[in-house]
């Protein structure tokens, strides 16, 4: 048997995007915009075949065109597929979803550009592939952003839509179903109104039309007197979600300068937690005077936007099947830590998160959809880009991701000095005053060159090189590349 050909996945992702741009729009009367979709098949011998949406027939999906028209009859079991949009799972009869065509073709490795944004189908095509033994990867983050940008009209439309029930539903979580002993009356009117107003939904929160929208979004099931919240609907809008889901909510702890500790539990409807949490932080922590305004205004010296983003993402992306553990917020003088039960969402790795390059992927698309519509979460992904940009804007050390047991921990630093404290007493004492100043500068960047470091710290080049070598020896930096392309990158694990 011939050895499997080697190929560069990055080049195939780029090729799929190139093919995507050739998509042919279909004539529609319902106002639905057409997505641009490209697909590339890499055969075992290294040859490729491509297809875009509508290439051979109006409305035909790219994967269908590729597998059932261009490569029909071929043995594809050792081929690799690249597709810019998550393959659909179900289509109107007698059509079959693209994910099913892929499984039938016995393809065992698929690279996916972007998840479907529809809350009732997002992730289902990917999960169908995984359940049938297909290894799924996501496109590189920067290429995902290109796909989003070039499909902006379609995704803006899709985020306002709701799907029809799947004829053969795949469950990403048991909380897509109802919870025993939970009724529609257990939902909070305040939480429902909060969602309605923040999401810009016109029908009143107590109207039949609003209930229909919730049903379409997978937040309630059944109609009339038989209507019942799903698990996700209860987590989002329940009066007391922890009555039925004890691991719901957030535990918060603030370690105060006087040695005392303030604690709070936030077990209310999930959509209310960010506001309640910010209110608690304002009351609990010492405030500083904001001199940037004409009026005197007391404010807590905290990066609230970063905290909100981090807590919302922890609630959205945590693994709710892990019982006995809640999301946690821990604030002290140096850092803000947010713990979320569950590791990175497959196929995302911890290393990708630490490098702020993790592909966009959601563990609980139904929760993500609601917070995105409320403007409290990025439309895709973990909010990595905004967390990084906010830290850079505030000239703070870049946040770090680690694993503690089975929880993903995000650490936000409150000052440059905090980066020294986080090293631990023994390691920090091993650094000279100049090296500490250098480290405080380094942690605000993903990478640097020796020349940049020398110039920023106003050091002689030889001294700068000694610093960088010292940081490498202590396991704080890694040297990447050679010659003029040499960079020094922070080891954030």
pLDDT digit string, tens, across residues 135-168: 999 999 999 999 999 998 888 776 665 555 455 5
Residue 423 binned pLDDT confidence (cut-offs 50, 70, 90) = confident
For 210, other C-beta atoms within 10 Å of its C-beta total: 18
* 3-state DSSP percent of the chain in helix, strand and coil, to 5: 40, 20, 45
Residue 333 binned pLDDT confidence (cut-offs 50, 70, 90) = confident
453 pLDDT higher than 70: yes
Cβ atoms of residues 77 and 106 within 8 Å: yes
pTM for this prediction: 0.81
Domain ranges across the chain:
9-158, 174-243, 250-414, 423-490
User: How many percent of the chain have pLDDT more than 90?
Assistant: 59
CATH for 250-414 (3.30.420.10, 3.10.350.10, 3.40.50.300, 3.30.565.60):
3.30.565.60
Residue 417 binned pLDDT confidence (cut-offs 50, 70, 90) = confident
295 pLDDT higher than 50: no
Cβ atoms of residues 379 and 386 within 8 Å: no
49-63, 312-326, 380-394: which range is least confident on average? 380-394
382 pLDDT higher than 60: no
Q: What ranges make up the beta strands (E) of 287-345? A: 287-290, 297-300, 327-331, 335-341
Average pLDDT over residues 205-234: 91
Q: Which two tokens stand for residue 42?
A: 């890499």
pLDDT of 264 reads 95
Residues 6+ apart with CB under 8 A from 485: none
Better pLDDT: 300 or 331? 331
Residue 242 binned pLDDT confidence (cut-offs 50, 70, 90) = very high
Question: How does DSSP classify residue 343?
Answer: -
For 258, other C-beta atoms within 10 Å of its C-beta total: 7
Cβ atoms of residues 492 and 354 within 8 Å: yes
CATH for 9-158 (3.40.140.10, 1.10.3470.10, 3.40.630.40, 3.40.50.1220):
3.40.140.10
- Strands laid side by side in the 407-413 sheet: 261-266, 250-255, 327-331, 335-341, 407-413, 400-404
**Could you tell me how far CA 49 lies from the centroid of its own chain?**
31
Measure the CA–CA gap between 324 and 101, rounded to whole angstroms: 40
Q: Which residues pair with 297 in a beta bridge?
A: 290
Q: Do domains 9-158 and 423-490 have the same CATH topology?
A: no
366-to-93, 152, 169, 416 alpha-carbon distances in Å: 25, 21, 14, 37
The overall average pLDDT reported for the chain is: 87
341-to-380, 381, 402 alpha-carbon distances in Å: 20, 17, 12
Cβ atoms of residues 210 and 195 within 8 Å: no
Average pLDDT over residues 338-361: 90
Average pLDDT over residues 308-334: 92
295-to-285, 298, 311, 385, 453 alpha-carbon distances in Å: 21, 10, 30, 32, 40
Q: Which two tokens stand for residue 272?
A: 């209310």
Measure the CA–CA gap between 152 and 53, rounded to whole angstroms: 17
CATH for 423-490 (1.20.120.140, 3.40.710.10, 1.10.10.10, 3.40.50.300):
1.10.10.10
For 361, other C-beta atoms within 10 Å of its C-beta total: 24
């Amino acid at each position: 048997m011939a050895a499997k050909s080697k190929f560069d996945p990055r080049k195939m992702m780029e090729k799929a995007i190139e093919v995507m741009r050739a998509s042919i729009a279909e004539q529609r009367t319902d106002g639905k915009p057409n997505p641009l979709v490209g697909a590339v098949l890499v055969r075992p011998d290294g040859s490729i075949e491509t297809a875009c949406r509508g290439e051979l027939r109006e409305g035909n999906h790219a994967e269908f065109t590729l597998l059932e028209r261009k490569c029909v009859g071929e043995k594809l079991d050792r081929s690799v597929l690249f597709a810019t949009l998550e393959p659909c799972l179900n289509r109107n009869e007698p059509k079959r979803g693209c994910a099913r065509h892929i499984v039938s073709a016995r393809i065992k490795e698929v690279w996916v550009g972007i998840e479907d944004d529809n809350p009732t189908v997002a992730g289902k095509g990917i999960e169908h592939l995984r359940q049938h033994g297909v290894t799924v990867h996501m496109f590189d983050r920067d290429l995902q952003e290109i796909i989003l940008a070039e499909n902006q009209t379609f995704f803006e439309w899709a985020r306002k839509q709701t799907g029809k029930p799947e004829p053969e539903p795949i469950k990403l979580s048991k909380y897509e179903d109802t919870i025993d002993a939970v009724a529609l009356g257990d939902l909070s009117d305040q939480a429902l109104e909060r969602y309605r107003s923040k999401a810009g939904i016109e029908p009143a929160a107590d109207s039949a039309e609003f209930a229909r929208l919730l049903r379409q979004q997978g937040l309630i099931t059944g109609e009339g007197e038989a209507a019942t919240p799903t698990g996700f609907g209860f987590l989002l809008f329940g009066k007391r979600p922890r009555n039925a889901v004890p691991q719901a909510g957030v535990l918060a702890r603030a370690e105060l300068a006087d040695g005392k500790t303030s604690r709070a539990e936030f077990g209310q409807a999930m959509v209310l937690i960010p506001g309640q949490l910010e209110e608690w932080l304002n009351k609990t922590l010492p405030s500083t005077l904001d001199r940037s305004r004409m009026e005197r205004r007391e404010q807590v010296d905290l990066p609230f936007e970063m905290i909100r983003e981090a807590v919302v993402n922890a609630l959205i992306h945590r693994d709710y099947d892990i019982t006995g553990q809640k999301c946690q917020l821990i604030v002290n003088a140096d850092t803000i830590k947010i713990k979320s039960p569950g590791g990175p969402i497959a196929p995302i790795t911890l290393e990708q998160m630490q490098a702020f390059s993790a592909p966009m992927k959601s563990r609980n698309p139904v929760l993500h959809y609601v917070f995105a519509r409320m403007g409290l979460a990025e439309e895709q992904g973990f909010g990595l880009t905004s967390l990084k940009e906010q830290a850079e804007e505030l000239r703070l050390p870049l946040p770090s991701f680690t694993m503690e047991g089975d929880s993903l921990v995000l650490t936000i630093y409150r000052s440059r000095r905090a980066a020294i404290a986080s090293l631990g007493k023994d390691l920090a004492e091993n650094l000279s005053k100049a090296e500490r100043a250098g480290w405080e500068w380094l942690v605000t960047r993903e990478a640097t060159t020796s020349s940049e470091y020398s110039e920023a710290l106003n050091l002689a080049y030889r001294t700068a090189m000694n610093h960088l070598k010292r940081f490498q020896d202590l396991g704080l930096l890694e040297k990447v590349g050679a010659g003029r392309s040499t960079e020094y990158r922070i080891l954030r694990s």
